[in-house]
Chains A and B, each alone.
Chain A
């Protein structure tokens, strides 16, 4: 089995989808000859031609809005938004249009499409390139929100997202694109949407993360075991909408403690939703308040201070310790 990066696994998934289904088209800014600014679509233009892998004009609302039309007329667009921060340009076409097509038409029409975007910070990119805006979309009924954190899931989840009958926002952890390799089967396989993964079983505290934050959650888990003799259970949500509440609640009922980790700013972040679900469904099991490790309530910082601003492993360790010692 080949060892691939997340970037390579995603590229492979797109290639398989284009080969499997003639209605799939990949579109976006620089996704053609250039292969995308992160090279996720590298080589696809040469393999499938300009009618399947399409360089669009530079207009995000146009990319998503035309994708809605393509999807309603029977195509399967996989649109790339070059950086997640540019998603604001598309808010109406995602939230008021794509997400409401099925509802608005009583199921007569649907908008099966995937919107891919690099997700999270930590790569010293300019302003509006690193913001974690997932909560805007978990607050939007009608769209699914998916974010892998490793190469195996990246491929399997992207293929599931492309199969899905509803619009899917697919968030790709930007700084993990080439951070490590994993064994990834060459053939197509699906990782189901709406199913969280218990990455590491433990008994003392549940650490919950998704996408880019999984890197520090896993590092923190190692440290908790090695240095503090604490047994953490690690849950990678993988899909934020629809949320796998059962896996979260089952884990917290066992460990009786939870720490949620995300890069997004704290207030109204998705971590608040997780904490709320835990207190509604596992209140009597809890031995400590649910804690959050998040970004601060400022705009995403200038890159000089980016590393300081972003949650890091030590903060996750500290939060887990204070939960256990509460």
Chain B
């Protein structure tokens, strides 16, 4: 049935690109074009429930910005399968080095969802990752974290830890020098790292075709002498299986690898952006039909694993969880502004201490 690659259980979609055809297992109609692999029907139902919660959160965050509750927010709507699949095979010893749109991936690795709201609010706790969770704080300079990913993976290699690191970034990041330096360092040093590119087609207003002259991001791997893969990023089954495979290989010392997950930013770049200025609704409609949630829902329904009643329950639960996140978020807003001075250095220098005292007086004066 899956003749493209019977060994690995995936099919290759010839979407006009010869060098790196798209790896797929579940098509946009919700038909399996490959095997479930390491996944089970039950696990996919759970995945769908999580995905639906993440979608609810993301849409709610957009509205919270409109209501003035949070600041600029970068939605991940449409990229849920890619982000969830990217970390599907990681365990507690592995590392995730995310970019600023990756709240779904970070959430799965143990970063509470309110961190997405903290980030948008500019709350000092935005990068306060729970102790024991091996996730780096999101940062906003495009591609800078790719080098951190190399360093983290390198540290684990030097300590012979046999763990995997996944660094995530967008298509725009592949234009940056840091990305290329990271690919080069990683390949020369042979570090246990997976470069996971969420190719969502748009870097704010600039489409990928204006970002690079090459056909695929995956083919960048060739120049660095490492293996590259191009996967349907809206197909959780394909992404999760690929990452299971690569994570295992990385732990066995075979890395690094480059994965291009072909997906789409269904929403705007951020709440400050209007995609109507630069892209057509026809394209958005086409990608809307490829929504990662839709195809998983279709498949689960066809298996008789998902009913309308269950969806109503799922949505109610998601709303409830979002309310709980909001409660935690609101609770955290009482933080003292003096915290700004506390984490510049491990020990506060005397001149900074005197500035802190001035700031404290100012805070009292304006009653903040």
Binding site for B on A (CB under 8 A): 25, 51, 56-57, 59, 61-62, 64-75, 77, 92-93, 96-97, 100-110, 141-142, 144, 164-166, 194, 241-243, 245-246
Interface string of B113-155 (1 = CB under 8 A from A): 0000000000011111101000011010100101111111111
> A166 to nearest B CB, angstroms?
5
- Closest B-chain residue to A97, C-beta based? B144
With A62-B181, A106-B127, A242-B345 already in contact, the answer to whether A96 and B148 are too (CB < 8 A) is: no
A245 adjacent to B185 (CB under 8 Å) = no
B344-368 CB contacts (< 8 Å) to partner A: 344-347, 349-352
B344 adjacent to A69 (CB under 8 Å) = no
A65 adjacent to B127 (CB under 8 Å) = no
Say yes or no: is B199 at the interface (Cβ < 8 Å to chain A). Answer: no
B345 adjacent to A66 (CB under 8 Å) = no
A70 adjacent to B155 (CB under 8 Å) = yes
A96 adjacent to B151 (CB under 8 Å) = no
> B68 to nearest A CB, angstroms?
24
A92 to B181 CA separation, bound complex (whole angstroms)? 14
- Selected from B124, B126, B144, B154, the residue in CB contact (under 8 A) with A70 is B154
Say yes or no: is B241 at the interface (Cβ < 8 Å to chain A). Answer: no
Which of chain A's residues have a CB closer than 8 A to the CB of B351?
242-243, 245
A106 adjacent to B124 (CB under 8 Å) = yes
> A245 to nearest B CB, angstroms?
6
Which 6 pairs, one residue from A and one from B, show the smallest C-beta to C-beta distance?
Answer: A69-B151, A65-B147, A242-B349, A62-B181, A73-B155, A69-B148
Which of chain A's residues have a CB closer than 8 A to the CB of B177?
61
| Chain A CB within 10 Å, residue with most, of B144, B148, B159 | B148
Which of chain A's residues have a CB closer than 8 A to the CB of B185?
56-57, 59, 62, 66
Which of chain A's residues have a CB closer than 8 A to the CB of B346?
102, 110, 164-166
With A66-B154, A106-B125 already in contact, the answer to whether A72 and B136 are too (CB < 8 A) is: yes
A44 to B131 CA separation, bound complex (whole angstroms)? 35
Given A57-B188, A75-B158, A103-B344; 13 other pairs, CB 8 A cutoff: A62-B150, A69-B147, A71-B151, A73-B95, A73-B155, A74-B155, A75-B155, A96-B141, A101-B137, A109-B127, A164-B346, A242-B345, A243-B349
- Selected from A93, A105, A241, the residue in CB contact (under 8 A) with B137 is A105
Say yes or no: is B178 at the interface (Cβ < 8 Å to chain A). Answer: yes
A92 to B149 CA separation, bound complex (whole angstroms)? 16
- Selected from A51, A57, A66, A245, the residue in CB contact (under 8 A) with B151 is A66
12 A-B contacts, Cβ less than 8 Å apart?
A57-B181, A61-B177, A61-B178, A66-B182, A69-B155, A70-B151, A73-B95, A92-B178, A96-B144, A106-B125, A109-B137, A243-B351
B144 adjacent to A108 (CB under 8 Å) = no
With A104-B137, A109-B129 already in contact, the answer to whether A59 and B184 are too (CB < 8 A) is: yes
Binding site for A on B (CB under 8 A): 95, 97, 124-129, 131, 136-137, 139, 141, 144, 146-156, 158-159, 177-178, 181-182, 184-185, 188, 339, 342-347, 349-352
A74 to B125 CA separation, bound complex (whole angstroms)? 21
- Closest A-chain residue to B95, C-beta based? A73
A61 to B127 CA separation, bound complex (whole angstroms)? 23
> B223 to nearest A CB, angstroms?
14
B128 adjacent to A105 (CB under 8 Å) = yes
B147 adjacent to A61 (CB under 8 Å) = yes
Which of chain A's residues have a CB closer than 8 A to the CB of B345?
102, 142, 144, 166, 242
B184 adjacent to A142 (CB under 8 Å) = no
- Closest A-chain residue to B349, C-beta based? A242
Which of chain B's residues have a CB closer than 8 A to the CB of A101?
137
With A242-B345, A242-B350 already in contact, the answer to whether A106 and B148 are too (CB < 8 A) is: no
A107 to B340 CA separation, bound complex (whole angstroms)? 11
A68 to B136 CA separation, bound complex (whole angstroms)? 11
Which of chain B's residues have a CB closer than 8 A to the CB of A93?
144, 147, 178
> A78 to nearest B CB, angstroms?
14
- Selected from A69, A107, A165, A243, the residue in CB contact (under 8 A) with B154 is A69
Which of chain A's residues have a CB closer than 8 A to the CB of B188?
57
- Selected from B149, B156, B350, the residue in CB contact (under 8 A) with A245 is B350
> B208 to nearest A CB, angstroms?
23
A165 to B126 CA separation, bound complex (whole angstroms)? 21
A59 to B125 CA separation, bound complex (whole angstroms)? 33
Which of chain A's residues have a CB closer than 8 A to the CB of B352?
242
A75 to B137 CA separation, bound complex (whole angstroms)? 18
A68 to B97 CA separation, bound complex (whole angstroms)? 12
A106 to B181 CA separation, bound complex (whole angstroms)? 28
- Selected from A70, A242, A243, the residue in CB contact (under 8 A) with B152 is A70
- Closest B-chain residue to A246, C-beta based? B350
A56 to B128 CA separation, bound complex (whole angstroms)? 31
> A48 to nearest B CB, angstroms?
12
Which of chain A's residues have a CB closer than 8 A to the CB of B178?
61-62, 65, 92-93
A286 to B66 CA separation, bound complex (whole angstroms)? 57
A324 to B129 CA separation, bound complex (whole angstroms)? 57
Which of chain A's residues have a CB closer than 8 A to the CB of B150?
62, 65-66, 69
B147 adjacent to A194 (CB under 8 Å) = no
B148 adjacent to A194 (CB under 8 Å) = no
A25 to B159 CA separation, bound complex (whole angstroms)? 12
